[in-house]
Amino acid sequence: MTKVLLIDNHPIVLQGFQRLIETDPPPVILSASTFLEAFMLYRREHPDILIVDLSMAGRSLSGLTFIARMRKVDRRVPLLVFSMHADPLIVRRALARGANGYVHKDAKPEEIRAAFEAVREGRRFIASDLAFDLALSTETPSAQGTRQDFTNRERQVLGLLAGGKSYGEIADDLGLSYKTIANVSSILKSKLDAETLPDLIYKAVQRSKEITS
């Protein structure tokens, strides 16, 4: 049975996330409203996955600092950031400090569930709407295209690739042929100097290590 530690000081958010990740059998849900409480619960209960909000008003320890300290204690426990922050700088810093995934609180329920399942299973996850901005924000001027250099179709395909969808699934979602999606992806790879979107996201995460707090 999966044991989940939810770290957020908004009861409504805690209740909503709990409903989203209900499985059969249902997970054991632990909740902490402060980072200190989270550390104590982690040491006592050894949860299988941590869900972390980055901002809790009135708390001296930030979510980014919590992630960094947690990684000094446990480098392997899956950790998903569930946050209102959509700034690529914050996303990069969270990933650089050891988060396995990042999803926005306004994401669709199915994307939040997908993020939870991916991170719980040991895979990385970056929400599609965040991955596009994350990728572009770390490109060098000589290599990157500006946002205006991308067509709406290219942005759609890049976002869906970032969400983990295959060419076939993207073709079905957009009502296009597999060949069209493959062609659009080839153009994106050329524009962004990356062979695959996972490679691009990996570069973004590596580049973020150069950013200091």
Domain boundary among 126, 158, 174: 126
pLDDT at 149: 62
Give per-residue pLDDT as tens, 53-85: 987 754 546 888 899 999 999 999 999 999 888
Q: Is 125 helix (H, G, I), strand (E, B) or coil?
A: strand
Q: Are residues 37 and 92 in the same domain?
A: yes
User: How far apart are alpha carbons 141 and 52 in whole angstroms?
Assistant: 33
Q: Pick from 124-128, 170-174, 197-201 the range whose average pLDDT is largest.
A: 170-174
Domain boundary among 126, 154, 185: 126
- Residue listed under structure tokens 């708390």: 59
pLDDT at 5: 96
Give per-residue pLDDT as tens, 29-56: 999 999 999 999 999 999 999 999 987 7
* Structural domain count of the chain: 2
Domain boundary among 93, 126, 159: 126
Mean predicted lDDT score pLDDT of the chain: 79
Residue 213: pLDDT over 50: no
Which is nearest to 163 in space by CA: 114, 119, 122?
114
Owning domain of residue 158: 132-208
Which is nearest to 134 in space by CA: 80, 82, 200, 83?
200
pLDDT at 202: 53
Are 81 and 52 in contact by the 8 Å Cβ rule? The answer is: yes
Residue 145 maps to a domain = yes
Residue 213 maps to a domain = no
How much is the average pLDDT of 122-132?
82
Q: Are residues 168 and 66 in the same domain?
A: no
* DSSP codes joined into one string, 17-46: HHHHT--SSPPEEEEESSHHHHHHHHHHH-
Q: Report whether the peptide linkage leading into residue 25 is cis, meaning its omega lies within 30 degrees of zero.
A: yes
pLDDT at 204: 38
Q: Are residues 18 and 69 in the same domain?
A: yes
Q: Are residues 119 and 158 in the same domain?
A: no
Give per-residue pLDDT as tens, 168-195: 888 998 999 988 888 787 777 666 666 5
Residue 176 maps to a domain = yes
Pairwise pLDDT comparison (163 vs 140), residue with the higher score: 163
